[in-house]
């Protein structure tokens, strides 16, 4: 067999592992179950897009958790690599909204009422990403309705454990920068920004955090537009004011000091 002639049995060897069995496609593709009767054509789109989001959220949490652990251990290289992958996932999450935009508001209404009181507000993984990134609001755990014990445990654990921001501060401290007060930290950012030759990895890491922050801010902004396009200013199925609530979340930042620092440069 020469190198460039494929074995005619290519893909058949062993006969045990298959594409479908490795990827558990029977199970995966059996999980899209529209509820509406009579069937609403766009409900399959709605379920599929949310499931795709949750898969990407799962991978993002895997990456961010490893980035956080490595920062706490004093590493800078792989945490930045992990954050870059998350940024690519985040961009995908933002552009995926285009698919929802192909649904008209009147078609959404054919199954919307059947969704209440469920809402994206109850996405545990979304809130885990916020907590792990550094935006910890314990109020959200109490406001969740219908959490399983395992989901509640996940959220409480994320609230309790160090965030990516804690990891970043650990790395700054390991490089000799005091980080106790905000003024200490602003002094550290200035030193790092003005001596990239010496502090390149720390600068790149801070910028990767800003990118991560920006990606989720873009998602919040894109989500509000999608919501207003679908339901205008109606209240949400989750019981919030809808777009007014979501607009108040657009201003949120994971790392406000890294944004504030821009004004001080």
Ligand X SMILES: N[C@@H](CC(=O)c1ccccc1NC=O)C(=O)O
Q: Which is nearer to ligand HEM, 62 or 196 (CB)?
A: 62
Tell which phi-psi region holds residue 238, choosing left (phi > 0), alpha (psi between -120 and 50) or beta: alpha
Identify what 118 binds: ligand HEM, ligand X, none; CB under 5 to 8 Å per kind: ligand X
**What is residue 255's DSSP assignment?**
-
By CB under 6 A, the residues from 116 to 175 that bind ligand X are 118-120
Q: Which is nearer to ligand X, 64 or 227 (CB)?
A: 227
Residue 48, annotated ligand binder? Answer: yes
Question: What does the radius of gyration of the chain's CA atoms come to, in whole angstroms?
Answer: 22
Other Cβ atoms less than 10 A from the Cβ of 27: the count is: 8
Q: Which is nearer to ligand X, 134 or 236 (CB)?
A: 236
Residue with token string 């989500």 = 223
Which residue of 20, 23, 29, 50 would you call a contact of ligand X, by CB under 6 A? 50
Q: Is 201 near ligand X (CB under 6 A)? A: no
Residue 264, annotated ligand binder? Answer: no
The site that binds ligand X (CB under 6 A) totals a number of residues, namely 10
How far, in Å, CA of 21 to CA of 15, rounded?
11
What six digits make up the tokens of 41? Answer: 């054509």
Q: Is 244 near ligand X (CB under 6 A)? A: no
How far, in Å, CA of 24 to CA of 3, rounded?
32
Least separation in angstroms between CB 127 and ligand X:
13
CB 140 within 8 A of CB 128: no
Residue 112, annotated ligand binder? Answer: yes
Instruction: Tell me phi and psi for residue 19, to 5 degrees.
Output: -50, -50
How far, in Å, CA of 145 to CA of 130, rounded?
18
Stretch that binds ligand X, among 114-122, 136-144, 177-185, 195-203 (CB under 6 A): 114-122
How far, in Å, CA of 239 to CA of 119, rounded?
9
Which residue of 133, 154, 236, 246 would you call a contact of ligand X, by CB under 6 A? 236
Nearest partner of 71 among 61, 79, 63, 62, judged by Cα: 79
Identify what 156 binds: ligand X, ligand HEM, none; CB under 5 to 8 Å per kind: none
Identify what 240 binds: ligand X, ligand HEM, none; CB under 5 to 8 Å per kind: ligand HEM
Cα 117 to Cα 114, 224, 227: the distances in Å are 8, 19, 16
Q: Which is nearer to ligand X, 83 or 227 (CB)?
A: 227
Which residue of 162, 201, 238, 239 would you call a contact of ligand X, by CB under 6 A? 238
Q: Which is nearer to ligand X, 121 or 261 (CB)?
A: 121
Stretch that binds ligand X, among 85-93, 152-160, 206-214, 234-242 (CB under 6 A): 234-242
Residue 47, annotated ligand binder? Answer: yes
How far, in Å, CA of 229 to CA of 111, rounded?
16
How far, in Å, CA of 264 to CA of 153, rounded?
40
Q: Is 96 near ligand X (CB under 6 A)? A: no
Q: Which residues are annotated as a binding site for heme?
A: 223
Residues near ligand X (CB under 6 A) are: 50, 112, 115, 118-120, 231, 236-238
Binding residues: 46-50, 112, 223, 237
């Amino acid at each position: 067999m020469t190198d460039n002639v494929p074995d005619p049995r290519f893909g058949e060897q062993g006969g045990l592992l298959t594409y479908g069995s490795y990827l558990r496609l029977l199970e995966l593709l059996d999980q899209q179950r529209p509820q509406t009767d009579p069937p609403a054509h766009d409900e399959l789109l709605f379920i599929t897009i949310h499931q795709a989001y949750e898969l990407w959220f799962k991978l993002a949490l895997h990456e961010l958790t490893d980035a956080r652990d490595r920062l706490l251990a004093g590493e800078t290289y792989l945490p930045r690599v992990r954050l870059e992958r998350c940024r690519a996932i985040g961009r995908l999450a933002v552009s995926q909204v285009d698919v929802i935009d192909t649904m008209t508001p009147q078609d959404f209404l054919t199954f919307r009422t059947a969704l209440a009181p469920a809402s994206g507000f109850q996405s545990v993984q979304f809130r885990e990403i916020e907590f792990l990134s550094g935006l910890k609001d314990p109020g959200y755990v109490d406001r969740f309705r219908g959490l399983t014990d395992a989901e509640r445990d996940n959220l409480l654990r994320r609230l309790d454990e160090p965030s990516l921001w804690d990891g970043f501060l650990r790395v700054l401290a390991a490089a000799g920068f005091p980080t106790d007060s905000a003024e200490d930290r602003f002094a550290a950012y200035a030193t790092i920004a003005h001596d990239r030759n010496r502090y390149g990895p720390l600068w790149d890491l801070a910028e990767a955090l800003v990118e991560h922050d920006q990606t989720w801010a873009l998602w919040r902004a894109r989500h509000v537009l999608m919501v207003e396009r679908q339901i205008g200013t109606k209240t949400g199925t989750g019981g919030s004011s809808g777009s007014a609530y979501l607009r108040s979340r657009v201003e949120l930042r994971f790392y406000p000091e890294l944004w504030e620092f821009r004004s001080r440069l």
